[in-house]
Amino acid sequence: MSTSASPLEAARAWLAQDPDEDTRAELAPLIDAAESGDAAASAELEDRFGVRLEFGTAGLRGRLGAGSNRMNRVLVSQAAAGFAAYLREKAAEGSRPTVVIGYDGRRNSDVFAADSAAIFAGAGLRAVILPRLLPTPVLAFAVRHLDAAAGVMVTASHNPPDDNGYKVYLGGDDHGSQIVAPADAEIAAHIERVAETTTVADIPRGEYEVADESVVRAYVAATATVAPAPAGAAGMNWVYTAMHGVGYETLSAILQLAGYPLPVVVEEQIEPDGRFPTVAFPNPEEPGAMDLSFATARAAGAEFVLANDPDADRLAVAIPDDSADGGWRRLTGNETGLLLGWRAAERAAAAGAAASDPADGSARASLACSLVSSPGLEAVAAHYGLDFHATLTGFKWISRAPGIVFGFEEALGYLVNPETVRDKDGISAAVAILGMIAEAREEGRTLADVLDGFAATFGFFQSGQVSLRVADTAIIGRIMSALRDSPPAEIGGVVVDRIEDLLTGVDGYPPGDVLRLWLADGSRVIVRPSGTEPKLKAYLDVRGTSAEDAAARLATLDSGARALIAAAQA
């Protein structure tokens, strides 16, 4: 399909090769209407075919539907063939690299996975598909467990119901992490060549393997060792929701092996359902997404709530709070990340990992988080004599931090078991937080008490976020340009000391569309486009002399950041 073709020509070529009856039925009437001069149909074809869904370090993610700017069997087949060509190019002569493929419960995830596996096999690779729909962390684990050259997970994680995606991992020296540059551009170039020169029907297909249950059992066994249940777990009363996703079957097996009592589940959300009927967005961070969890917890008299997102690579934690609406409060990703980082640092220090630089020249044990996550983790690392790394956003970067023993990002992502999974893992994080809660219970303390203990030990850190969701992503670009062209002298009445623009280069970071503003009182504001959603995000961090002081500083900074974004948008 020529890249110079008009949207109408591209649509005709697409229809001729599309193997999916549903998307063919969706596209054919649009083509007929556009050929008859219907302006709305022509505009729709322009949206679907005017650009191509970009393959980058997050792989592919977008709305389901016909067109090069949608997720569908044509696009996925081209992606699989291009990725296969990349893997063959990188493989040793005469070798047969393994690719493992996983999929979640979203619409067409199983179809996209089967198409990919057949195309990998047709390219001469050993293709192994996981035995059923499973969490993303199981796929990330399987890449290393099977010594695979690569892995593909078909998921759109916590995106809206009409989305799907294609997440790519590399084995070998990449240790099962997601792809980064230059691999993303090299894979994208292969995909473009396939799209321009080959129809879907002409892409070779072959026989693929279906993994047996031993892969899942191995993940369950490894994850159960993260925090075997201490005596304090006895009688634990808690609530869990899978958010209509695939997490509970795997989590429940781990709980039983590790010795934890099973939770009271949110029945309406416990089974996989790609329609996500009870939530507007299947993301525990979104307002209202955990309302059913809180109602279940109130009815059960629960001590706490845990929630996975639909592919179970993220974890939300909530605790009773009389001051919160409905009596429950979800911890921020920073709060949970700092607690888990504290746990990891204690264990690393106890094991002697921080004593000195290793004699074999390997990296010292370290904690890592994305640069938009709480600076409190650096205070934890310093307290225990560990190294610390602040990376670009995304676990493709966090997982590559030298010597990492724990990593997190504020968007509810935690890497607690890097020897097993080099990606965020909401299931192993759930086991780790259960261990913390159980240990506190032995001492008659709650998770709220543990949070207070963190502040008493490391300081009063508070974080917030201002998020602007847009229908037109061009608005985000205009706001970022306005902030660069007219940088603020103050935010919320506090002078801006300095501004770092990662787009033009900052030591230690590859270029990125990120602005980092440091204020005279030590506060920090970071502005960037979301990598997975049509949002502009401003991340706010303060450190106060008390909880009340930190809260007041954060409120002032929040008001200032909102005014800053509104002015840039005007």
CA-nearest of 552, 556, 526 to 409 is 526
What does the block give as tokens for 139? 């796929």
DSSP of 177-199, one letter per residue? EEP-TTHHHHHHHHHHHHHHH--
Separation in Å, CA 135 to CA 156, 197, 382, 417, 435 = 12, 35, 34, 16, 21
- Backbone dihedral angles phi then psi of residue 392, each to the nearest 5 degrees: -60, 160
Run of H or E including 29: helix 21-35
Report whether 200 contacts 78 (CB < 8 A): yes
To the query of whether residue 356 is one of the catalytic residues in this protein, the response is no
Could you write out the three-class secondary structure of 210-270? ECCCHHHHHHHHHHHCCCCCCHHHCCCCEEEECCCCCHHHHHHHHHHHHCCCCCEECHHHC
Query: Of 42, 77, 116, 157, which is the active-site residue?
Result: 157
- CB-neighbour burial class of residue 302 (10 A; exposed 0-12, middle 13-18, buried 19+): buried
Contact 288, 279 (CB under 8 A): yes
- DSSP helix/strand/coil, 280: coil
Distance from the Cα of residue 546 to its chain's centroid: 32
Residue ranges of alpha helices (H) inside 446-522 are: 447-458, 474-485
Active site residues: 157
